[in-house]
Amino acid sequence: MKLSDLKKPNNWLSALGLVTLSACYVIWLLRRGGIAPLPLTLSLLSAGCFAWVGLRTVPEWVGFWSDSGEDPLAPEETEPRYMDLRIFGCFLLADLCYLGLTILIRRLFGQETPMSFWLCADSLHYQQIAQDWYLSEGIRDRVVQLVFLPGYPVVLRLLHLLIPDYTLAGLTVSALSFAGGGCVFYRLLRLDYNRSISLRALRFLCMMPGAVFFAMPMSESLFFLLSVSCLYAARRERWLLAGLLGAYAAFTRSLGLALVVPLFAEWIHEYRRIPHPRRISGGVSVLLVPMGFAAYCYINYLVSGNPFQYLEYQSVHWHQNLGFFFSTAAYQTDYALSAARSQDLPSLLGLWLPNLICALISLPLVALASRKLRASWLLWFMAYYIIAIGPTWLLSAPRYLLALPPLPLAMALFCRDSRRNQALSLLLGDFSFFYLIAFSLRWQVW
């Protein structure tokens, strides 16, 4: 297909995307009513940066689905011996460093670190689900745990058969998942990039704000492992395995549903490249992903009689409803200004500013690296971002974006120049260390 043939669909898709985004923004603005200048500016910045990502994605997407040639793979390089083992060991060491630094920071501030400390954020909920499953009646805080998906508690319950202490079992699940995810992520990257870029992406992954959550007894590490394994299986055309892994990712976190987007894009790409009736089964396997979330909805039905009971609990108990990501930029700015006026530094520095910074900075980083990112990854990023950053009471933007592989890869691609690499590494390292201090002191880090 000639480049000139692609210009028309590019223009139409770009125009349709811009009109849709603009319409959503105008509707939100009319419903919102009066809005202060700074929140308005940041909401416009959020929408504008997302449009930038979209406009950079459209030509890559059209070309990706139209290309019938061979995929360009990474340059042939001989891997060092035991590369997987090295990466596994380095990620285990990083996991221990997160835990050790947390303990050290708390000690420097005169605070003890009992085992119960690790049951912070959502960790306690996951542990109680693993112990007692979901409750249909009783203490309100236990009943509303239905909003937490069962993928991680199931694995935790299984490992508890070998490790009697639930907290220690949870830390072990996270450590092994993180190390395994690092190995698979590297293999996935090496399909398209050289060793230098791939290793740099691993380094940025370990440096991301909130990376300590990979070590916590929570679902981040397991979800990351399942996500990269799903994409790696798809790239190797093991579609049934990819569908099953994606289904369990969606059984672990609702954001796993976003895996439908890159999987479907990869399947269309492969089918267009080499059409074959047997490849139709790959498209069917993609449909397994929402089945994982459907299984969670069935558990909702068994526990409460309503397959969507989690939505009610999210709305009433956590004030979480679906919203627009640019609305998030506005209300997070409002809360940051309010916290600054009241001198509530834990909320300002531990919650609202990190949320704003991570949500806003991730967009231009991906846009700048878009020409080197695979189209399926760009589509994945956009779908994931809309879901993750859109909630009406977002508390965990750094943690949610932590498990999104296109982000550390975009950083690695943006930093191919040594000066950029040094500058971003320094900024990211400082930000992440400060965020670790905020987490260690139990500021409002969720």
Tens digit of pLDDT for each residue in 319-351? 888 899 999 999 999 999 999 999 999 999 999
What pLDDT does 6 receive?
A: 46
Nearest to 440 by CA among 243, 257, 210, 154: 210
The two most distant CA atoms of the chain are separated, in Å, by 67
**Cα(68)–Cα(355) distance, integer angstroms:** 41
User: C-alpha angle with apex 184: 151 to 411, nearest 5 degrees?
Assistant: 100
Neighbours of 112 (CB within 10 A): 8
| Region of residue 134 (left: phi > 0; alpha: psi -120 to 50; beta: else) | beta
pLDDT at 161: 95
Q: DSSP state, 443?
A: -
| Residues 394/399/402/404 CA torsion (nearest 10 deg) | -40
Residue 330's pLDDT is 96
The string of pLDDT tens digits covering residues 271-318 is 777 766 666 777 889 999 999 999 999 999 999 999 999 999 999 988
- Let me know: does 232 contact 187? Beta carbons within 8 Å: yes
User: Which pLDDT score, from 0 to 100, does residue 362 have?
Assistant: 97
* Token digits of residue 367: 């846009």
Higher pLDDT, 71 or 400: 400
**Residue 288 phi, psi dihedral angles, 5° rounding:** -70, -25
What pLDDT is attached to residue 181? 98
- Kindly give, in sequence order, each residue whose CB lies less than 8 Å from that of residue 445, ignoring residues fewer than 6 positions away: 121, 210, 350, 351, 354, 435, 438, 439
Q: What is the DSSP letter of 78?
A: P
Rounded Cα distance between 302 and 204, Å, is 42
Give the pLDDT score at 2: 47
Q: In the numeric block, which tokens belong to residue 324? A: 């627009």
Length of the chain: 446
- Find out whether 26 and 339 touch, Cβ atoms under 8 Å: no
Residue 303 CA: distances (Å) to CA of 138, 251, 314: 13, 16, 16
Work out the mean pLDDT of the chain and round it to a whole number: 92
Closest listed residue to residue 47, CA positions, set 24, 68, 74: 24
Is 72 or 112 the better-scoring residue by pLDDT? 112
Cα dihedral across residues 183, 96, 216, 296: positive or negative: positive
Residue with tokens 């846009």: 367
Q: For 362-382, how does the pLDDT look when each residue is reduced to its tens digit (9 = 90+)? A: 999 999 999 999 999 999 999
pLDDT tens for 207-238 read 999 999 999 999 999 999 999 999 999 999 99
Q: What is the dihedral of CA 190, 196, 199, 203, to 10 degrees?
A: -140
Q: How far, in Å, CA of 262 to CA of 249, rounded?
A: 14
Unique residue bearing structure tokens 């109680």: 128
Task: Report helix, strand or coil for 111.
Answer: coil
Q: What is the pLDDT of residues 239-284, one digit of tens each?
A: 999 999 999 999 999 999 999 999 999 999 887 777 666 667 778 8
| 219: helix, strand or coil | coil
